[in-house]
């Protein structure tokens, strides 16, 4: 496993989790992910990407929610865990993400090639 994949796994482990409102997809929009994160996701067609973008959605959002939840990118995992990306429905973990981890995630994202999910 290369350095970026190890870094992704280490950062994921430090992001607090919480339970979303069933059926809510308010934070599921067009986002970017690193090449390594994209390699973990099923390949979508150009048509699927275009349709999702036209709806300001994600091509991995299905009728029952996120179809790649276990492998969702770091940016998706941050939603609702930091005051910078609050859940629009007030959901949150017991303890928000620590500032150092959030800064490390943003630094990682800035240091890697990002592509539209």
Residue 1's pLDDT is: 64
Q: What is the pLDDT of residues 28-67, one digit of tens each?
A: 989 999 999 999 999 999 999 999 999 999 999 998 889 9
DSSP assignment letter at 72: -
- Residues of the domain holding 60: 3-19+26-116
Name the residue among 7, 75, 68, 63 with its Cα closest to residue 40.
68
Residue 61's pLDDT is: 95
Domains held by the chain: number:
1
In this structure, is the dihedral angle defined by the CA atoms of residues 95, 100, 37 and 10, taken in order, positive or negative?
negative
Q: What is the model's pTM?
A: 0.92
């Amino acid at each position: 496993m290369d350095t970026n994949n190890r870094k992704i796994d280490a950062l994921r482990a430090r992001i607090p989790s919480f339970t979303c409102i069933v059926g809510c997809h308010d934070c599921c929009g067009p986002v970017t992910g690193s090449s390594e994160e994209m390699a973990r996701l099923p390949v979508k067609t150009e048509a699927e990407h275009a349709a999702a973008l036209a709806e300001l959605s994600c091509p991995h959002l299905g009728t029952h929610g996120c179809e790649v939840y276990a492998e969702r990118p770091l940016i998706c995992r941050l939603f609702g865990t930091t005051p910078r990306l609050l859940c629009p429905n007030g959901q949150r973990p017991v303890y928000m993400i620590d500032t150092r981890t959030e800064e490390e995630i943003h630094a990682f994202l800035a240091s890697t090639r990002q592509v539209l999910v």
